[in-house]
């Protein structure tokens, strides 16, 4: 994995890659199993095991789940995660990390709008 900065525009939308979708599925299983446990420590331990098994940070599950619906920009994801006390910089860093490891992929840009017909008088 290179430390090269990933470049994208502010309006760039991202979605899960196939690898990212598989990671979300396994994350969901781990979190459901942890809910049957006794408190936050078990939840945190389950997230840590999940992250370690995929070479991800334990909080990456939160970011991947946010992009599961597909077609989100970094600022949309940051707004949605504000209630989790997640700063926008952390979301941006996570997106760059998840792009580099192939968990997220950029959506192709939509085609530009058609030019209005030209009128010659």
What residue numbers bound the domain in which 76 lies?
14-105
Answer yes or no: is 24 within a domain: yes
Answer yes or no: is 31 within a domain: yes
pLDDT for 2 equals: 46
Give the number of other CB atoms < 10 A from CB of residue 17: 17
pLDDT for 50 equals: 94
Answer yes or no: is 5 within a domain: no
Answer yes or no: is 112 within a domain: no
What confidence tens digit (pLDDT) does each residue in 6-46 have?
677 888 999 999 999 999 999 999 888 888 877 788 888 89
Looking only at the bridges linking them, the beta strands covering 104-106 and 14-16 are antiparallel
Distance between CA 41 and CA 29 in Å, rounded? 17
Residue-wise burial string across 84-105, b where 16 or more C-beta atoms lie within 10 A, e elsewhere:
eebeeebbeebbbbbbebebbb
- Read off the DSSP letter of residue 72: B
Distance between CA 109 and CA 71 in Å, rounded? 11
pLDDT, mean of residues 101-114: 85
What confidence tens digit (pLDDT) does each residue in 63-82 have?
999 999 888 999 999 999 99
Distance between CA 50 and CA 120 in Å, rounded? 64
pLDDT for 94 equals: 95
Give the number of other CB atoms < 10 A from CB of residue 24: 17
pLDDT for 35 equals: 81
Average predicted confidence (pLDDT) for the chain = 88
Answer yes or no: is 28 within a domain: yes
pTM: 0.81
Number of separate domains in the chain? 1
Q: pLDDT-derived band of residue 101, with 50, 70 and 90 as boundaries?
A: very high
């Amino acid at each position: 994995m290179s430390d090269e900065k990933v470049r994208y525009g502010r309006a760039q939308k991202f979605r899960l890659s196939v690898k990212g979708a598989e990671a979300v599925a396994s994350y969901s299983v781990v979190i459901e199993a942890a809910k049957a446990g006794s408190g936050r420590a078990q939840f945190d331990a389950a997230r840590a095991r999940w992250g370690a098994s995929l070479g991800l940070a334990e909080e990456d599950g939160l970011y991947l789940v946010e992009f599961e619906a597909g077609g989100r920009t970094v600022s949309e994801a940051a707004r949605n995660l504000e209630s989790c006390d997640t700063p926008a910089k952390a979301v941006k860093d996570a997106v760059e990390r998840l792009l580099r490891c192939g968990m997220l992929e950029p959506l192709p840009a939509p085609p530009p709008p058609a030019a209005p017909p030209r009128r010659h008088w």
